[in-house]
Amino acid sequence: MFGSSREFGSPEQFSKLLSKSGEKLSAADYLDTESLNKLMQKEDHLITQIFNRVSNELEAMGAVSKKAFWQVADHFLGTQKSQEIRIDPQTLKTSLREETRAEELFQPKGDNIPAPASLNQNQRPFFEAHTVEEALKQNMAAFADDVFSSLGFEPHQAFSSSTQRRYGKKGHITVNLKTGSWIDFKDSDMSGGPLHILTKLKGLSFKEAVEYGASWAGLSPERLTHVPSLPQIDKGISKENPNQESKTKIAKAQALWNKGQSIEGTLAERYLREHRKIEGDLPKDLRYLPSFYDRASQTKHPCLMATARNPDGQVTAVQLTFLDSETGKKASLDVAKKSFGVLKGSAVILQENPSGPLFIAEGVETALSLKSAGVEGTIQANLGLSNIKQLSPQKPETPVVICADHDEPESPAAKGLEKSVQTLQDKGFHVTVIKPEKLNQDFNDVLKEKGPQGVREILQKSLPEHIFQNQVAQENPFDKIRLICEKQLYDYLKSENRDITQKLKNRIALQSEKAADFIWHQHQESPTPEETKLFLLRAKYELDRIPEIRKDLIEKWKDEGEFKKKDALLAHMIAERQASIEGRLYFETKKAGKEPSTQIPELAEKELRRHQAQTKALTTQLSQEYSLSKDAATNCAKDVLRYKETHGENPSQKQVETFVHIAQDLEKTYPYKAKETQTDIYLRRQEGDLLFRQMSIPDKSPVSPDMNKTQDQAKVSLESISLQMARDLQKMNQMELGL
């Protein structure tokens, strides 16, 4: 082969030209070994990369396929579809034989070194649990997101941080991303490490959990460890005696309990009163621990301490709630509650009354919320869902009421509750489960939002009649009447197959309270169903008429050009008074068995004008008789006249004196103003009505009014009325504009 010096100027050009020649030899055949190796170095590296990539892709495909199978199996577990995804046993055996054969082929050849002895030659290789857990911890955030999302618990971004993940709508599940530890605050038994997520929440065996975790982490075969099966070792030799271990744990819990001090006046009481809104006496099984060192967070905290006792009354466990030493709130820790000792079969006794039902709550705060609501019976906190089935009343006939959190229907907590209820029912106990209406709420949430009455309302709606009797707090008989009215309305609506919407619930609450007011001031603590029905009809009539009268007044003022000088709230207060008179006339007619007259509105208007004309003279009379200021006497006179409008008779001397006392007290809250707003007038009137109700308990010592609560209720009423009027005015304006 011939060529110029330019064509053979470099080895690369020389090789290239040789390869293009007609010879059957390749360019490499013309090079020595050293030059060839140097020339092929890049190609060798590229080929190695390609093989590595293909190998990695195959491993990834295997891991993804296995993970996908787990998810499919989880989804269809317990359904007919599960039959379609099962592996035939014979196929499985064949697969295992092929797997074993493949491993033998790929074992490195030694100098006839015998394989390790095994008592089970068909033993499958498995991952060491420690190796798997460490691998999962390296990517804990993704693993936790994957598993908890598959269970219906989405990450709670607001409560999560770089070191921890929170799951659930209220963030009740916490995962430490560094250590891999996790806990469900709704059930302290639901906690542990990465593999426990799979065993406790997904229901896998430990071996299945290890395989699942290994598959998820994509561990390579090189990290497999063959461990021979060993004969069962006597537990008495390898492990401390279980009874002795329990005794040791109980002794430690008792020692911790003995370090506590009375809860009165401490940060623990502040936590319960201020942040949990707990009312009434606090039980003796709650104490305050000034300082406790938490190894997990390596911090010291003051604690609320609750002790759990077994049926013999022995202290067997203690639960600590870590508190913020400055604010008294629960401490901001991954795990803010810890239990010590043996909890199984024990509970925190917060109230004891063997003659009543047994109320079981999940946590101490929930149980105290029931106590604050004044329920009659024994109240226990079980400190974990798994412990519910271990608790039972002393008498088989005692009703059991489980006051549960309102968890997601398909959540592990909800399923665990179902199993516990079934266990108790299998033992022959009558079990009722009650929950708050809103999802993800517990009874302490209800107490904080609606007070003790909110808790009692749930009891009234949820408990069977024979259990509900005597569950209403005796110190508040008005609420008892209101609940009677409310129950009658709900029973009627259920008989009519009506859908109970939120709007209808709000209306039921208003109608029941109004009817209870009528009954209350007639000193009827136990009205008959027929009487209750009549008062409910009157309440409905008035609630329907108030917006109609208010609208007529506003339209009249607009026609006269007076609306700007007046106010929609003034129209509302006048409408309330006229509707009250109409309602009384309507009630009297219905009670007599007659049909209400169409002249009722006209008669009511005349009576109202007559009373308005009498206000000035009555003001002067009250001012002189009780030494009242003009402002206090005016408000007192209006209260007296409104009482007459509602009940059709003058108040008694004692009731007039109550009105005087209220007017004097409210004068301090609402001092005289040269130009008083309608808002001030409404709030003062509303507060006066609420105080009059509280101070009108017949033949009993008067209850000390809660002014803060009264003011809050008046403000809520004002907000509700203002919203209604704004909507009505908007509709009226649209009609005027022809929209």
317 and 355 belong to one structural domain: no
Asked whether residue 18 is domain-assigned, the answer is yes
What pLDDT does 445 receive?
Answer: 93
When pLDDT is cut at 50, 70 and 90, the band that residue 77 belongs to is very low
Give residue-wise pLDDT tens across range 103-136: 444 444 444 443 433 333 334 444 577 788 888 8
Task: Look at residue 591 and tell me whether its pLDDT is greater than 50.
Answer: yes
- 3-class secondary structure for 348-390? EEEECCCCCCEEEECCHHHHHHHHHCCCCCEEEECCCHHHHHH
580 and 725 belong to one structural domain: yes
Comparing C-alpha atoms, which of 509, 551, 578 is closest to residue 725? 551
Asked whether residue 691 is domain-assigned, the answer is yes
Neighbours of 173 (CB within 10 A): 27
What pLDDT does 290 receive?
Answer: 94
297 and 367 belong to one structural domain: no
What pLDDT does 160 receive?
Answer: 80
Asked whether residue 507 is domain-assigned, the answer is no
322 and 371 belong to one structural domain: no
DSSP state for residue 114 in the 8-state scheme: P
What's the domain range around 19?
Answer: 11-60
What pLDDT does 602 receive?
Answer: 96
What pLDDT does 704 receive?
Answer: 60
What pLDDT does 609 receive?
Answer: 96
CB distance 652 to 521 below 8 Å: no
CB distance 357 to 468 below 8 Å: no
Whole-prediction pTM? 0.45
CB distance 368 to 278 below 8 Å: yes
CB distance 586 to 595 below 8 Å: no
Between CA 356 and CA 386 the distance in angstroms is 24
657 and 569 belong to one structural domain: yes
Mark 471-481 as b/e (b = at least 16 C-beta within 10 Å): bbbeebbbbbb
Q: What is the distance between the terminal CA atoms of the chain, rounded to a whole angstrom? A: 100
In DSSP notation, 303-365 reads EEEEEEE-TT--EEEEEEEEB-TTT-SBP--S--EEEEE--TT-BEEEE--TTS-EEEESSHH
Q: Give the residue with greater pLDDT, 330 vs 80.
A: 330
Q: Is 553 helix (H, G, I), strand (E, B) or coil?
A: helix
How far is C-alpha 583 from the chain's CA centre? 41
Among 40-44, 119-123, 252-256, 578-582, top mean pLDDT goes to 578-582
What pLDDT does 408 receive?
Answer: 83
Give the CA count within 13 Å in the CB-facing half-sphere of 407. 28
219 and 267 belong to one structural domain: no
Give residue-wise pLDDT tens across range 421-440: 888 888 888 888 999 988 88
Q: Can you give the CATH number for the domain in which 354 is found?
A: 3.40.1360.10
321 and 365 belong to one structural domain: no
User: Which H or E run includes 219?
Assistant: none
Question: Strand pairing partners for 320?
Answer: 305, 338
Give residue-wise pLDDT tens across range 558-574: 888 888 767 899 999 99
Asked whether residue 87 is domain-assigned, the answer is no
What pLDDT does 312 receive?
Answer: 84
Last residue of a domain, one of 313, 342, 371: 342
* Helices 443-462 and 364-372, axial angle in degrees (round to 10): 50
Give residue-wise pLDDT tens across range 477-535: 787 788 889 888 988 888 888 888 878 888 998 999 999 999 988 766 678 889 999 99
**Cα torsion 581, 585, 591, 597: sign:** negative
282 and 334 belong to one structural domain: yes
Among 422-436, 517-531, 615-629, 697-711, top mean pLDDT goes to 615-629
Q: Can you give the CATH number for the domain in which 197 is found?
A: 3.90.580.10
Per the prediction, the chain carries an average pLDDT of 79
569 to each of 560, 563, 683, 686, how far by Cα in Å? 18, 11, 11, 13
552 to each of 247, 547, 555, 569, 581, how far by Cα in Å? 78, 9, 5, 13, 17
Asked whether residue 552 is domain-assigned, the answer is yes
Last residue of a domain, one of 342, 361, 393: 342
CB distance 331 to 322 below 8 Å: yes
Neighbours of 22 (CB within 10 A): 5
Comparing C-alpha atoms, which of 585, 586, 587, 581 is closest to residue 530? 587
Between CA 132 and CA 193 the distance in angstroms is 11
Q: Give the residue with greater pLDDT, 112 vs 7.
A: 7
| 3-state helix vs strand vs coil in the chain, percent to 5 | 55, 10, 35
Neighbours of 235 (CB within 10 A): 10
433 and 394 belong to one structural domain: yes
Q: Give the residue with greater pLDDT, 701 vs 335.
A: 335
Asked whether residue 442 is domain-assigned, the answer is yes
Last residue of a domain, one of 324, 342, 360: 342
Question: Strand pairing partners for 321?
Answer: 304, 337
For 547-556, what is the mean pLDDT?
94
When pLDDT is cut at 50, 70 and 90, the band that residue 243 belongs to is confident
Between CA 279 and CA 375 the distance in angstroms is 13
What pLDDT does 33 receive?
Answer: 58
In the chain, how many domains are there? Answer: 5
Tokens of 538: 């009157």
When pLDDT is cut at 50, 70 and 90, the band that residue 668 belongs to is confident
What pLDDT does 58 receive?
Answer: 63
Asked whether residue 612 is domain-assigned, the answer is yes
Q: Is 503 helix (H, G, I), strand (E, B) or coil?
A: helix
Tokens of 577: 């008074």
200 and 158 belong to one structural domain: yes
Q: Is 725 helix (H, G, I), strand (E, B) or coil?
A: helix
DSSP state for residue 704 in the 8-state scheme: P
Tokens of 592: 């007599």
Give residue-wise pLDDT tens across range 285-338: 999 999 998 887 788 999 999 999 988 889 999 999 999 999 999 998 877 888
Asked whether residue 5 is domain-assigned, the answer is no
Q: Give the residue with greater pLDDT, 421 vs 583.
A: 583
Task: Using the structure block, give the residue that is written with the tokens 């370090």.
Answer: 259
What pLDDT does 240 receive?
Answer: 46
Between CA 335 and CA 241 the distance in angstroms is 30
532 and 411 belong to one structural domain: no
Give residue-wise pLDDT tens across range 185-215: 776 667 888 888 888 887 778 887 888 888 7
User: Which of 98-112, 691-705, 708-722 bottoms out in mean pLDDT, i.e. has the lowest?
Assistant: 98-112
Q: Give the residue with greater pLDDT, 728 vs 86.
A: 728
Taking phi over 0 as left and psi of -120 to 50 as alpha, with beta for the rest, 517 belongs to alpha
Task: Using the structure block, give the residue that is written with the tokens 């295992």.
Answer: 96
425 and 560 belong to one structural domain: no
What pLDDT does 297 receive?
Answer: 79
For 601-630, what is the mean pLDDT?
96
